[in-house]
Amino acid sequence: MKFIVGLITVLLLCSALKGERYVIEGTSMVPTIKNGDLVYIEHKDFFRVKSNDIIVFKASYNGTNIIVCHRVVSRNYIFLYTKGDNNLTGDNFTITKEEFIGKVKTN
């Protein structure tokens, strides 16, 4: 149940403005990113993403397509492994090039 609540709170909802900005809804990235924060996305090459980058990606939860913002904790050539900064455990899914949207710009 805790995972389900955590996953629901990581949703990045609706507010894609010109494909560059998203309004965060949830607390999985607190204290780095807070509920209601606006994040800017750079459309970086999937293969240049590295551990510690914060990314935005498509995921499916209970048959519903959602957008998630989490930190990359590790990677290999095919998959990114992610975790919300405020979550105790990593996500139980992997991110592929097709699901990757972009990297959150810092500064």
Confidence of residue 106 (pLDDT cuts 50, 70, 90): confident
The structural domain count of the chain equals 1
Q: Give the residue-averaged pLDDT of 9-14.
A: 40
37-91 confidence digits (pLDDT tens): 999 999 889 999 999 999 999 998 888 888 999 999 999 999 999 999 999 999 9
Which CATH number characterizes residue 28's domain?
2.10.109
Strands of 94-95's sheet, edge to edge?
A: 21-23, 38-42, 100-104, 54-61, 64-75, 80-83, 94-95
Range(s) of the domain holding residue 52: 2-104
Which residue in this structure is represented by tokens 């139980």?
Answer: 92
Which residue in this structure is represented by tokens 């899914």?
Answer: 93
Reported pTM: 0.80
What pLDDT was estimated at residue 7?
Answer: 44
pLDDT: which is higher, 5 or 25: 25
